[in-house]
A and B are shown apart, each in its own frame.
Chain A
C-alpha cells in the first residue's frame, strides 16, 4: 500500500481554471438542482484548492467512499430516478465534486473537463435562450483554457493559453457552421427522456370555476406568435379558440377528454374571406392547439378537431411547434342540433343551485319575444347596470353565480361568461364556454402578433335555431376596451399613467418588443432549423430534392474543403520567415527616401546621413532603423517584422522621385 503523501502543488497552475470552468458550466443548473448539491460542490472545490495551496493530504479513501455513497443516495432521494436531465445534471455535479477530492495529477483533470462539457450540454437541453449561445461559447472557451493549462509543461502566461484557445476556436468556427447547416436533421426522436424545465407550464387550465381564484395573475409570457399572410383581422375577430367546456356542476365548468370527431369539420359552413397565418406555439404540455375562430385547415401533424370544433394534438405539446392554419371569421356550425345534444347543452345541476339566477333568466326570457332579444337583454343588463370589470374580484363561495349577479357584481371574463352561460341554459338556450386567447399585440419590429398568457380569455357560445352556434362575449359588454385594445395595451397605458413614467415606460415597452422580435427570429431561424428549413435552404442552394445522401455528400465536401483551408493556414503559420524579408522592407525604405546608401555604410550611419540631408522625418527614420536592426538581427519574431512593415508603409516621403546620387 502506497503511503499517502501530501499534494505537491503541481495543480496550482491548472486547478483554478478547471474549477472556474466547472463552476461556470454548473451555474445555469443551480436553480433546478436541490440546494445541497451546489453547496457540496462549492465545498469540495474550495477544500480541494485549500489542500493544493497548503500541500496537505487528500482525504483518505474510506472518507471518499462514504462521501460518494451519500452523494449518490442523496441524488436518488431527491429525484427518485436517475434518468432525465435533472438527475443527470445532479449526478454530474456530484461526480465532479467527488472527482476533485481524488484528483492528484494534472492529467486527472481530464475527467473534470469532460464533466464540464456535459454540464454545458445539459443546460442547453433545458433552455435555449439567446443568451445560451454566448454562455455556450464562454463555457467552452473556459474549458479549453483549463485544458491547455493542464497540458502545458513550461510556465506559459494565461494570456497565451487564452490566445491559443481563441485561435483554435476561430479555426473551428467555419467548420462548425458548415456542419450545423448541412448535417441532416431528422424529425422524430429515437427515444423520449424527460427534460425537467423546472417551472410549471403556463397554459390554460382544463376547468373553469369562477370565484375560486380571487385574483388573476397576469403572466407576460408568450403563449404563441402569429404571422399573418396578409393584414391581421380587427381585434373584435381575434378569438383564438382553445378548448370548449360544456359541463357545469353548479360551480365549475369542465370539458370532455380530448376525442376526435371526424364530422366536426363537416358541420362548419363558411362564408366570406379566409384568413391565413402561421402560429408558433410555445410548449404547453397540453394537447390544445390554438387557432382563430373558426379553424378550417391546419398543418400540424397528428392534430385533430374535436366535437366542438376545438383543435387538439394527439400528444402533449412539449416543444415549440409552428403550424400554418386557415380560418374563416364568418361561419356557422351545427345548424341542426339533435334533441339529445340540445338537452345536453341545456343541463344545469339538479340541486337547485343559483336559484335567483335561474329565476332572473326565466323572467327575462318570458318578457323577450325571441332568443335573440333575450340575449340582447342580458348583455344590456351587463352593460347598463353596475357591473365592473376587475382582475381582483372578491371570492364568491356557494351559489357563486347568484352572489356574482346580485351582490358583488365584480369579475373578469370567467365570471361574465359563466353567468351568461348559466342564464342561457336556465332560459332554454343551449350554451357552452370556450377558453382560449383574445386579442394580441402587433410587433411592428418583426411584423407579427404576440399573444401572451395575459391574453387568456373565456367567452360563450349559444345555439340559435337556424343559425347554429354563435359566439357571444359578455365581457365585451362590460369592458369593451378589453376586447378592442387588447390586454397588454390596456395595462401598459394604465401602468404608465399610474407611475407617471410614460416616456421611459414607452421606451422600455418598445425595447421589450424589439427583444421579443429578436427572440422570434432566434426561435424561427436557429432553434427551429429542422428538416423543413433545411430542405428549403438546400433547394435555395440549388440542390433539388435533397435527401440525406445528398446532404451527407454536401456536408463531407464542404468539411473537406474547410479542413484543407485550415491546414493551409497552419502551414503558413509555421513556415519559417524568408531570411531577407527585413532586407526587402529596408530596400523599400531606401527607395522611399531616395538616398542611395554608400558602400559599407551601416544602417545607423545611413540614418544619420538622411537626417543631415533632411530627406525624411527624423522620428520615422529612427524607428525604421531600429526596427530593421531588431527584425534582421534579433530573434525571429512575427511582431518585429510587422512593426517594421508598418513603419515603412507609414513613412511619408516622396516615393516617386528618382534616387539622387550623393
Chain B
C-alpha cells in the first residue's frame, strides 16, 4: 500500500527499498483472510471496530526509534525532565494509535452508484461515507487497489461521496470487489483501514471505434428519405413521459397546469428507421463490429437522429434520447454474455 496521496511524477525522494513480491504475497494472504472473516458486506455497512486494522507507518517507525533513543538519553543522564518529554511522546504515540482507529469506527459506508463508461475510460464508483457521531472525522480516504480518492474530513452528521476511479479495458462489467477506507489521522504515525467487499459493478460500453465506416443511410419506412431535423415540426400529440425523453420535448405548460409529465410526440417519429445492424457492419471481428456500432450510436445521438439497433438476439426499435442510447449501448456492452450474468446485473 502506498502512502496517502499520490506523489507527483518525478519525485526523486529517497524511498526505502521494498520487497514487492513478499509484500504482495503477505498482502494477498491478509486480504483473503479478511474476506473470509468479514464475508460479503451489504451495500450500506457500518464499520465496527472489529474490522478496522491498524499498522504503523514509516513515520511511525521513525517516531518509535526517536522515542527509544530519547529514552536511552534520559536514562544515561538520569534527567527526569527529559524522561517526562520521552514519556509524553510515547503516550502521545499510544493515544494517536487509538485515535487513529476510532477515527473510522462507526462510519457508514454505502455504494452510491457508478455511471457507465466506455472501455478505456475510468469507471467511477461513488461511495457515500456518513459520520453519524457528534465529532469530526479527519482525513478520510477511499482506495481501490492502488487508486486513491481525494482526502476529506467529515463534520458531525456529514455525509460525503468519495469517487473511486477504476481503469477499464474491456466492455462488459467492471467489478469492484474490494475497496478500502483509511486514515492517517492524527500524526500519520499509524494507518488505520477497513476493507469492504460489496462486489460493485459498473457497466462498460464498448470503446467507440476511432475510424468507422459511414453508417448505413437512413431509410424512411414509406420509401422517402428521412430528413434530418424531422419530427421537430409536425406536432402529433402527447404521450406520458418516459425516461430518456428529451427535456426539450416535455410539455412544460401542461405540466404546470396538471402536474403530469407529458412528452410531445411528433409526426413520423415511429416511422423513422435508420437501422444499425450487426450483420451488415463491414468487419470480421465481433469486438470490432461492436466498436463500430458504438461509434455510430454515439454520433447519431450527437446529431439527434433516430436509430434502431439490430444485433443477434436483440432488436431495439428506432428512437432517440439518453434512455434509448443507454439501452442500445448496454445491449452492445453485454453482447454475448450469458443470461445469468445479465440477470445478476
Residues of chain A touching chain B, judged by Cβ–Cβ distance below 8 Å, are: 2, 107, 110, 114, 117-118, 120-121, 124-125, 128, 132-133, 136, 140, 144, 147-148, 151-154, 156, 160, 164, 168-169, 171-173, 175-176, 179-180, 183, 185-187, 189-191, 193, 195, 319, 526-530, 563, 566-567, 570-571, 573-577, 635-638, 641
Contact = CB atoms under 8 A, between A and B. Distances in A.
A142 B95 CA distance: 18
B162 to A, nearest CB: 12
A38 to B, nearest CB: 22
B135 A148 contact: no
A567 B98 contact: yes
Residue from B62, B63, B73, B103 with most neighbouring chain A CB atoms (10 Å): B73
B106 A574 contact: yes
Contacts of A160: 136
B54 to A, nearest CB: 12
Contacts of A152: 138-139, 153
Given A110-B59, A117-B89, A136-B85, A576 B133 contact: yes
B81 A128 contact: yes
Given A156-B153, A563-B98, A635-B156, A574 B85 contact: no
A207 B279 CA distance: 116
B28 interface: no
Contacts of A156: 138, 153
Contacts of A526: 80-81
A170 to B, nearest CB: 9
A114 B66 contact: yes
B122 interface: no
Interface in B119-146: 132-139
Interface of B: 10, 12, 49, 59, 62-63, 66, 70, 72-73, 75-92, 94-96, 98-99, 102-103, 105-106, 132-139, 150-153, 155-158, 184-188
A654 B284 CA distance: 90
A529 B80 contact: yes
Closest 4 CB pairs of A and B: A172-B91, A638-B134, A576-B132, A175-B91
Contacts of A153: 139, 150-153
Contacts of B88: 136, 140, 169, 172, 176
A18 B70 CA distance: 21
Given A175-B94, A175-B95, A121 B82 contact: yes
Contacts of A107: 188
12 contacts: A107-B188, A110-B59, A121-B70, A128-B81, A133-B81, A144-B92, A154-B151, A168-B92, A175-B95, A180-B84, A573-B133, A577-B132
A573 B187 contact: no
Residue from B134, B136, B153 with most neighbouring chain A CB atoms (10 Å): B134
Contacts of A117: 66, 70, 85, 89
Contacts of B85: 117, 120-121, 124, 136, 140
Contacts of B84: 133, 136, 176, 180
Contacts of B82: 121, 124-125
A445 to B, nearest CB: 23
B78 A530 contact: yes
B92 A180 contact: no
Contact of B102 (A136, A172, A193, A574): A574
A104 B294 CA distance: 46
Contacts of A189: 76-78
A359 to B, nearest CB: 58
A315 to B, nearest CB: 15
Nearest to A181: B87
A179 B89 CA distance: 11
B297 to A, nearest CB: 41
B156 A638 contact: yes
A151 B106 contact: no
Contacts of A530: 78
Contacts, number: 173
B71 to A, nearest CB: 9
A186 B75 contact: yes
Contact of A190 (B75, B83, B186): B75
Nearest to B152: A154
A580 B72 CA distance: 53
B73 A577 contact: no
A136 B87 CA distance: 12
Contacts of B158: 635
A343 B203 CA distance: 113
A2 B11 CA distance: 9
A638 B106 CA distance: 16
Contacts of A575: 106, 133
B157 A124 contact: no
B81 to A, nearest CB: 4
A125 B186 contact: no
Contacts of A570: 98-99, 102
Contact of B79 (A125, A133, A148): A125
Contact of B134 (A154, A164, A176, A641): A641
A168 B153 contact: no
B87 A183 contact: yes
B185 A2 contact: no
Contacts of A151: 139, 184-188
B316 to A, nearest CB: 46
Nearest to B184: A151
Contacts of B151: 153-154
Contacts of A574: 102-103, 105-106, 133, 135, 137
Contact of A172 (B62, B95, B138, B157): B95
B139 A125 contact: no
A596 B10 CA distance: 71
A638 B135 CA distance: 7
Contact of A577 (B70, B78, B133): B133
Contacts of A527: 80-81
A168 B99 contact: yes
Contacts of B72: 190
Contacts of A576: 106, 132-134
Nearest to A120: B85
B138 to A, nearest CB: 7
A128 B184 contact: no
A637 to B, nearest CB: 5
A151 B184 CA distance: 8
Contacts of B10: 2
A193 B83 CA distance: 17
A470 B84 CA distance: 50
A183 B83 contact: yes
B168 to A, nearest CB: 28
Contacts of A566: 94-95, 98
Contacts of B99: 168, 171, 570
